[in-house]
Chains A and B, each alone.
Chain A
Amino acid sequence: MSVSRRQVLAILPALNEVQTVREVVTEVRSALGCDVLVVDDGSHDGTGAAALAAGASVIRHPFNLGVGAAIGTGIAFARERGYSAVIQIDADGQHDAASASALLVPVLDGSADLVVGSRFASGYKVSGARAFGMRYLSRVVSRRVGVEITDTTSGFRAFSSNAIAIFAVSYPTEYLSDTVEALLDAHDAGLRIEERPVVMRSRMGGTASSGRLRSTYLFLRLLVVILFHPLRRRREQAATS
């Protein structure tokens, strides 16, 4: 790779991940050799201190703002410090740091601006209503962005400098809609999107989110986000008006 690894920033959004964050930071640092930023999204368990001890830079939100806001903060930091690529990795150990280089390749060789790591391409399965929901999302989003995206809610992503410039201004913050909305925003901004298969592990710690009623609500909200997306004002315009 021609671009120096020092120009890559790994962003790990973390909320109460003290059990795993140290290990993940160490793993990412040894696998990629890049700088690591942990955005502590208002943890109460000392996640930030553990990340700092493992050699990461840490930004702490004063209270919980959601994963989307944490990524937005991380990307704004990357923009400020002049990083030319960002890799977003979960702090709970689900993402295999070795796959991260595969996501960074298209971004670093300039062939894509936003690379999404898909767990489905590597044989991950979900069942029932969740599977139906994710397939539906995949179909709608793929049609919108003109690229086949099987794992629309994946939080394992690489961003180019173009993508950093766009998302440093405004990154979607609605919980669980942020990943999908970011894809639609990226497409609107003319960024080139690509999907690559990645290996996902079972979580090293922490708990999975959401009961059935809440999942339904989140899915409906996501539908509102997707259906209204083409009609809405750009977020940065709305913020200033």
Chain B
Amino acid sequence: MMLEIVVISMSMVLFAVIFETLRRRRLSEGSAVLWIAVGLGAILLAVARPIFDWIARSAGVSYGPSLLFAIVAVFLVLLCFSLSMQIGRLEKRVKILARELALHEKLNPEDVGEAGKGR
């Protein structure tokens, strides 16, 4: 019973954080969908513990929580991977932007003309 209360209240905290960051537009709507799903998943697992234990046993895992750890670990690895892919994409975009900006601000003696002679 204690476990259920802890998991549910932690999920509630998660929901509150999602709500507030979404309200301040710090979190994108897409990420909100993912994190709401995570919170709901946690609640579902806590409430339907017997079902989860049954799934664990039929998957050949004798101790339910260790299957949970495995699932969570896989989820976190996938999340990290997707985040590093996104960082890669952002880096590429920053380079493109910096290059385009540099091309706009290029300084050539012939572009400067009379106005630039005082420099």
Contact = CB atoms under 8 A, between A and B. Distances in A.
Contacts of B97: 62
B30 A221 contact: yes
A224 B29 contact: yes
A221 B29 contact: yes
Contacts of B33: 217, 220-221, 224
A212 interface: no
Given A217-B33, A221-B30, A232 B96 contact: no
Given A62-B100, A63-B93, A225 B29 contact: yes
A77 to B, nearest CB: 17
A209 B29 CA distance: 20
A228 B23 contact: yes
B25 A238 contact: yes
The 6 closest A-B pairs by CB, nearest first: A238-B25, A224-B29, A221-B29, A220-B33, A62-B96, A224-B32
A143 interface: no
A209 to B, nearest CB: 16
Nearest to B100: A62
B22 A228 contact: yes
A233 interface: yes
Interface of B: 22-26, 28-30, 32-33, 36, 93, 96-97, 100
27 contacts: A62-B96, A62-B97, A62-B100, A63-B93, A63-B96, A174-B29, A177-B29, A217-B30, A220-B33, A221-B30, A221-B33, A224-B22, A224-B32, A224-B33, A224-B36, A225-B29, A228-B22, A228-B29, A228-B32, A231-B23, A232-B22, A232-B23, A232-B25, A233-B23, A233-B25, A238-B24, A241-B24
Nearest to B96: A62
Interface string A148-188: 00000000000000000000000000100100000000000
Contacts of A62: 93, 96-97, 100
A59 to B, nearest CB: 13
A174 B25 CA distance: 12
Contacts of B96: 62-63
A235 interface: yes
Interface string A203-241: 000000000000001001110110010011101001101
A62 B102 CA distance: 13
A228 B15 CA distance: 13
A174 B23 contact: no
Given A62-B100, A221-B33, A235 B25 contact: yes
A143 B25 CA distance: 24
A224 B25 CA distance: 12
Contacts of A239: 25
A59 B19 CA distance: 37
Interface in A34-65: 62-63
B39 to A, nearest CB: 13
A220 B36 CA distance: 11
B72 to A, nearest CB: 21
Contacts of B29: 174, 177, 221-222, 224-225, 228
Contacts of B25: 232-233, 235, 238-239
